Chains A and B, each alone.
Chain A
Amino acid sequence: ETGVTQTPRHLVMGMTNKKSLKCEQHLGHNAMYWYKQSAKKPLELMFVYNFKEQTENNSVPSRFSPECPNSSHLFLHLHTLQPEDSALYLCASSQGVSSNQPQHFGDGTRLSIL
C-alpha cells in the first residue's frame, strides 16, 4: 500500500525535543486522521481533518499539535513529550468523513521517547 506515506518510519527523541511527523496521501481523499497505537490496546483516534479543517480533537494533550495545509498533507508537531507517548502513530485518509468510507492507513511512525 503506497497510497499513504508516513515519514520518518522511526523516531527517537528526548522529552525536550521538538520534532514533526509527516503524512502524505496520493489517493485524492478529502479526510485525514491521526491515530495512536499502543501495544494490545485499541487504536486511539487523535485528530480528524476534513477538507483541511479540523473536525475532531479527541482530548489530545497540547504537546501534540496537528497541521493540515492541504487535503494531501498532514503533520503532527511534537513538543515536550512524555515517556507514555512512545507508540506507533498512524495516519489514515478516506474519501469523506463518514464511517462508511473505508480508511486507508500509512505504515506509521514508531516513536520512542527517552
Chain B
Amino acid sequence: AQSVTQPDIHITVSEGASLELRCNYSYGATPYLFWYVQSPGQGLQLLLKYFSGDTLVQGIKGFEAEFKRSQSSFNLRKPSVHWSDAAEYFCAVGDSNDYKLSFGAGTTVTVRA
C-alpha cells in the first residue's frame, strides 16, 4: 500500500514570497498524485493532479507541482503567495490497483503581511 509524508507541519511565509510544500510518497509504480487545499471551515478543494506525461503540472490559483520519480516527490509551489493562500494543504496518492487515496497529515500555511 502507498503512503504519503508531508514533512512540514507548519510553514509561515510573507505575502508576495514564494512557497514550496513538500510531499514524499512510497509506492512502487507510477502513482496518481493530487494536491488539495482546505480553507478554514471548508472542505478540500482540488488544486491539481498528476497521472502521467509532463512532470510539471499547473493547477488553479497559480499553483504548480513537479513529479520527481527519482526522489518519490511531488512538491507544490507558488511563486508569490497571497494572504488568501493561508490554509491547510494535503497531498494524496492513489494507484491503479486500488480506488482508495492515501492522504498526508497536511501542512498548515500562515501568510504574514
Q: Which bucket holds chain B's interface residue count? A: 20 to 34
The proximity string for A residues 101-112 relative to B, scoring 1 for CB distances below 8 Å and 0 otherwise, is: 011111110000
State how many residues of chain A have any CB contact under 8 Å with chain B: 25
Write out the residue numbers on chain A whose beta carbons fall within 8 Å of the beta carbon of B41. 107
Give the residue name and chain of the A residue nearest to B3 (CB): A42
Write out the residue numbers on chain A whose beta carbons fall within 8 Å of the beta carbon of B90. 43
In the complex, what distance in Å separates the CA atom of A6 from the CA atom of B100?
21
Give min CB distance, A35 to chain B, whole Å.
9
The proximity string for A residues 84-114 relative to B, scoring 1 for CB distances below 8 Å and 0 otherwise, is: 0000001010000111101111111000000
Within A28-86, which residues are at the interface with B (CB < 8 Å)?
Answer: 31, 40-43, 45, 48, 55-56
Q: Does B51 contact A (CB under 8 A)?
A: yes
With known contacts A42-B105, A99-B94, A100-B32, A105–B45 Cβ distance under 8 A: yes
CB of B42 within 8 A of CB of A103, answer no
Write out the residue numbers on chain A whose beta carbons fall within 8 Å of the beta carbon of B106. 40, 42
CB of B100 within 8 A of CB of A99, answer yes
Within B97-113, which residues are at the interface with A (CB < 8 Å)?
Answer: 98-106
Q: Does B44 contact A (CB under 8 A)?
A: yes
Give min CB distance, B15 to chain A, whole Å.
25
Choose among B42, B44, B105 the residue that contacts A41 (Cβ–Cβ < 8 A).
Answer: B105
In the complex, what distance in Å separates the CA atom of A105 from the CA atom of B92?
14
Give the residue name and chain of the A residue nearest to B100 (CB): A45
CB of B104 within 8 A of CB of A42, answer yes
In the complex, what distance in Å separates the CA atom of A5 from the CA atom of B42?
11
A interface, CB within 8 angstroms of B: 1, 4, 6, 31, 40-43, 45, 48, 55-56, 90, 92, 97-100, 102-108
A-B contacts, 6 of them at CB < 8 A, read A1-B42, A4-B43, A40-B105, A55-B99, A90-B44, A104-B46
Give the 4 A-B CB pairs with smallest separation, nearest first: A99-B94, A105-B43, A105-B44, A43-B103
